[in-house]
Structure 1
Amino acid sequence: MPETRTRARAADQPLSVAGWATHVPGLTAADLPGSPAEPACGPDDAKDVLGRKGLLGKEPSTRLALCATHRALGLPPGKLAEPLPYAPGTAVVVASNLGNVETVSTVLDDMRSRGGNVVSPLDAPNASSNVIASSIAIRYGFTGPNLAVCSGATAGLDAVRLARLLLLAGRAERAVVVGVEPADPVARALAALRPGDPGELIAGAGCVLLGRPGAWPTDTGITVGPVVRHTSDPGPADGQPAVGELYGAAGVVRLAAAAAMLAGADADAGADGAATTVRCGDADDAWLTVDVTRAGARREAGAAA
């Protein structure tokens, strides 16, 4: 019985959000919290954030995911100059339902019409369902578990839930959680087949850095609780930004925006204890929610609260 109670307490333990970024091309921080001050670049201009090297052959969704990750890590523009000291043991979990469908469609069409020999060596790796997560891990040297989540409208918070399981089980020290969707014609056509009227798919990415307290170099005072599943619509979440249909990326983008809003309110008001609820999902895939709380002002890990 004591062991059961200990596990239950661990499952309810809040995790620290050490960093965040939203990256929806064309939007600024005034439009979507967590965005850059200037309009976020599109995938063709990802070099402005990441530098030119290493982007050849990368698909739009991978480029957007890398931009969001780079900014969440607080890195200066350009190629990583030296290894990140906290990269070992860091997991990467990516939510994307349609991230590489255009490449998969193109590769299959080419193979059917002209044979496998015509497939470009640059396109072939992009046909992997895990290409976004693996590209992030390779670029930044993250050596922890590497997962892709493609679970429909709940994918974003499903990725947060899986990252939480990895952290609480001791499988990873830290987790980089990314949600991203492209807006190419193939992705938009597939997204339009969803029941109801979800709206036209837009391209965008979000990233949050999760860990136990002290796992990352910076403590922001923002925490997230357990992810909760609902079989019926839990109702609208107050203050959730309406920027367009982000499908599988929505949960992570909304979580990153919520963290940015709470941190901004903290800086403006200097008060503790604010909270909000992030949600994603639909009638087909169910709904997920997670509570985000501001515990205090931004401080360095290990410093007095």
Structure 2
Amino acid sequence: MTRSARRTRRTLQVAGAASAALLALSACSSSDDSSSDTSDKSDSSASASSSDKLSGTVTVFAAASLKESFTTLGKEFEKEHPGAKVTFSFGGSDSLAASITGGAPADVFASASPKTMAIVTGKKDNATEPVTFVRNQLEIAALPGNPDKVSSLKDLTKSGLKVVLCDKAVPCGAAAQKALEASKLKLTPVSYEQDVKAALNKVVLKEADAAVVYKTDVHAAGDKVEGVEFPESAKAINDYPIALLKGSKNAETAKAFMALVRSAEGQKVLTEAGFLKP
């Protein structure tokens, strides 16, 4: 074989080897891409499956002061879990507790005080161990512009001033009584209301000059009332516990809603509404 021929043969062999190597790399790359696509699709499918597996209706009994915050969280929950629905019953915590112990169907109870939660948890096997998720502080709701110049809890005892309080059995009413006792003040309201929203509404409708409610309710009312802080409220802060009711028909989804309430996202909604961190 001539030198020129041998040189040509070696060139062809090198070219063939290089081509084979490129084919092998291409095959590996294709395999890796395919594996990556499969993995990504699998992860995406698993995530969707995890999100979609929660379904059915969750019924939440919650203190009236939680209405705005929980309604927002309920919508967020339904958005995250398209197969689930959250329905609420808001009212005075004592009335809600009585309804639950009386057999009213519910999955979650969020109360405005440990005392009213105990009405439910005190019954054997009625609920799981409650957990405090927020706290709330009292504030005076005065008429817009504060025409009566209310600047303290003592000012509510002025003659002729129409003041509304929550019923003493309701957490906001019990807290108001505690603040009044701490101040050694006596106050006779024109009415006792069954929940904090009803007390606030008396001022909104100008049927009363002032009411002792929660900071969160003053915040929710916007310019319909004027809030007046008072130092004695620091001695009557309410813890808000939440618990899963053992008679729940949809415990898994109910637990997921409770997890949202206690999550960073849930706490952000609650603190923006004026609640204090637990």
Identify whether the pair has TM-score above 0.5, normalized to the shorter chain. Answer: no
TM-score (norm 2): 0.26
Q: From the CA coordinates, give the structure whose radius of gyration is larger.
A: 2
TM-score (norm 1): 0.24
